[in-house]
Chains A and B, each alone.
Chain A
Amino acid sequence: MIHPVDTMLALALLSILFSFGSSRLPSLIKVVGFQGIVVCIVPLFLGHGLSPESVVFSIAALCIRGILIPVCIYVAIRKAAITREVKPIVGFHASIFFGLILMVGATMASHRFDVAADHISRLFLPTAISLLGAGMFLLMARRNAIAMVLGYMVLENGIYLVGCAFSQRVSHITEFGILLDILAGVMIMAVILRNMKTTFNDLDTDRLRTLKE
């Protein structure tokens, strides 16, 4: 029988490919939001015993990663009618191809590690490493500032999964602190995005090249 965690992680992997292929910002935001929800649900199925505390934390994390952050980015850009196309540095087809190579590479790399969560799903570490790589890729391969913020979110999702896969030692209080930091970070980025929009009438990071050396 397929373990629910496998299904979740497969969905997370698929979301990477979707995010690499999205040429429109609203769909990219939705994909990353969906990925956030999936990643937050995974710990509930890890079989560590469902304490009320962990359920509350998972719901809080889900609300922040899956709903609050995407909505925050969406609202920040909606008011100023922005260009909805993502300008890629690496083309969309090439990006998807890179995504596939990334997943293969991540699977091969993950065989080298001995992971606590391996008995539940062998997809755990490949997904986490793929998310880390995907986040970095979006940060580097997209010119649009919003796509970069979303890349940062994908990276954080990956780190969260690494945390789930490897260690259960981190307490919920500190996890929540980390989550609040990420939320505040994205909110500040959203404010900068709005200011960028009003200053340049564009969110192309090519415009941010006055400061050199």
Chain B
Amino acid sequence: MLEMIFLVPFIIGITAFFLPRTINRLLLVLTGMVHLFLSVAIWVNSPAAFFPAFFAVSPEGTLSLLVISLLFFLISVYTLTYIKETPIPKEKIFIGFLLLFLSTMSMATLSDHIMVLWIAIEATTLASAPLIYTHHTVSALEATWKYVLICSVGIAMALLGSILLSVSLDAGKVNAAISFSGLVAVAQSLDPRWLKAGFVFILVGYGTKMGLAPMHTWLPDAHSEAPSPVSALLSGVLLNCAYLGIFKTSKIMHAAGLSDFSGPILIIFGLISIIGAATFILRQTEYKRMLAYSSIENMGIIAVGTGIGGFAAYGAIICLIHHSLIKSSLFLTSGNILLGSGTRLIEKVNGLANRAPKNFVAFFGGFIAISGFPPFGLFLGKVIILITALKAGHFIAAGIFIFSLCVIFAGLANSVMRMSFHPADPSLPKNIPEHIGLLWPQYTLLAASIILCFWMPASLQETLVQAASTIGGGF
């Protein structure tokens, strides 16, 4: 039964509110393992749903689900050591909501019904809001408030868009289910005016959640104020869930022959996000916020890839997977740096290469990876998008893309070099303690990105091509 994948963490999450601390910690990792196992089972067997009107397996959903599972498992292992190092107030609630968050994200990946996807994505906001407020500080309160309000209002727009999609069915006098697969099947008969209006509202709505500029304002605050394992989850997988909503709607637009309308809008939003990120990264003073802006940049790149369509859509999905792996690794390492140095300010973290060499390798490796250098997979995705953009004649977009990427690299390099190699103040402790339990998840994630760049299992490759081909991608 397909629904097990979100029901299991949901039920365990609810029970976690009432269980003692030690059992909860064990449950967290166990659920991560079971979830990973179930995801692989879904990928291999594609089981039927108990409620086929609401849930179904789709290639893009399966890919996201696999990424969510892998990341959650590694992050849960990291969290186990993390909460021993830094006490978390109300740990029961923290673990309970982590599991509910996992459940809602899994539900989003498997939703086929338009409204169920909306319900799941709004539920991810609600399940993650208490996680951002974990440390009960004034700034965390502000970040949570912005997150809940901006995302709720944004996603309300997506609800309006979803209603308009169902109107396009009525206006086109078609009788089909209001599910993504149903709409794709009858896309040619849908009323194009309502479809276009629905797409715009859905893009604005889910785009807010995905962190596309100019609706991104909640993202740097939430990512920087949340505890690092939560930041890693927010950046690594939550943004993907929102992207799924946009991707699935783009599928309908493509099937309806309206990619000429949806493509340029996606490209424009993507480019604004990349330019916005470039502007803010240059003058960033906090490293977690810097990483958050880098997420906005990558979501922009993915939106551009999806907008160009064709082979670039394949590149966008590669970027999506590798961004999840790399960015969550970076956020976890930034958590270690924060634990060791006690500050979020870039200028106060110096000499990382000498003071914390293992964390330095993970952080610097992550920086190389996120900047799009080989041998990490993001390189592949960016090159594919760029080449397709040039081939399709999007010269101005490609120019802005390359220029912004250079600026972002310069900004990131400046801060990372300062943190890594600038001589440390003598008053600072010479060594930052490094715990192996807080390191191997990051190394695993980075290694996964390298391996997937050179060798991808045939079945995974097939799923990827299937997903991309729905918006004209693939080979």
Contacts and interface: CB of A to CB of B under 8 A. Distances in A.
Chain B facing A: main interface SS? helix
A211 B225 CA distance: 10
A208 B122 contact: no
Interface stretch (A24-32, A62-70, A192-200): A192-200
Contacts of B138: 199-200, 210
B142 A185 contact: no
Contact of B129 (A156, A166, A188): A188
A155 B149 contact: no
A189 interface: yes
B186 to A, nearest CB: 13
B145 A184 contact: no
A162 B126 contact: no
A123 to B, nearest CB: 19
A37 interface: no
A159 B160 contact: yes
B30 to A, nearest CB: 26
Contacts of B125: 185
Interface string A171-213: 0001101101100110011001001100110000100111101
B163 A208 contact: no
B15 interface: no
A86 interface: no
Contact of B163 (A152, A163, A180, A211): A163
A174 B170 CA distance: 18
A148 interface: yes
Contacts of B289: 213
A152 B160 contact: no
A7 interface: no
Contacts of A94: none
Contact of A208 (B123, B145, B169): B145
A189 to B, nearest CB: 6
Contacts of A132: 160
Contacts of B146: 208, 211
B464 interface: no
Given A166-B167, A174-B115, A196 B141 contact: yes
A152 B152 contact: yes
B113 A156 contact: no
B139 interface: yes
Interface string B135-149: 010110111111011
B79 interface: no
Interface string A144-174: 0100110010011001001100110110001
A174 B377 CA distance: 39
B130 A162 contact: no
Given A159-B156, A208-B142, A169 B119 contact: no
A167 B156 contact: no
B284 interface: yes
B174 to A, nearest CB: 11
A195 B89 CA distance: 15
B149 A148 contact: yes
- Which DSSP category, helix, strand, loop or mixed, fits chain A's interface? helix
Contacts of A210: 138-139, 142
Nearest to B193: A113
A192 B141 CA distance: 7
A211 B166 contact: no
Give the most central of A145, A149, A181, A205: most B CB within 10 Å.
A181
Nearest to A158: B160
Interface in B90-139: 113, 115-116, 118-119, 122-123, 125-126, 129-130, 133, 136, 138-139
A141 interface: no
Q: Select the residue from B119, B163, B170 with max chain A CB neighbours within 10 A.
A: B163
A83 B156 CA distance: 29
Interface string B161-201: 00110110111000000100000000000000000000000
B139 A211 contact: yes
B457 to A, nearest CB: 36
A185 B126 CA distance: 6
Given A174-B113, A177-B119, A196 B145 contact: yes
A159 B118 CA distance: 13
Contact of B170 (A145, A169, A213): A169
B237 interface: no
A148 B113 CA distance: 30
A162 B284 contact: no
Interface of A: 114, 116, 132, 139, 145, 148-149, 152, 155-156, 159, 162-163, 166-167, 169-170, 174-175, 177-178, 180-181, 184-185, 188-189, 192, 195-196, 199-200, 205, 208-211, 213
Given A162-B160, A174-B54, 11 more contacts: A139-B149, A166-B163, A166-B170, A174-B115, A181-B119, A181-B123, A185-B125, A185-B126, A185-B152, A196-B145, A210-B138
Closest A-B pairs by Cβ, 4 of them: A174-B115, A177-B119, A208-B142, A181-B122
29 contacts: A116-B170, A132-B160, A156-B156, A159-B159, A162-B163, A166-B164, A166-B167, A167-B169, A169-B170, A170-B166, A174-B54, A174-B113, A174-B115, A175-B115, A178-B115, A180-B119, A181-B119, A184-B126, A185-B148, A188-B148, A189-B149, A208-B141, A208-B142, A208-B145, A209-B142, A211-B142, A211-B221, A213-B220, A213-B289
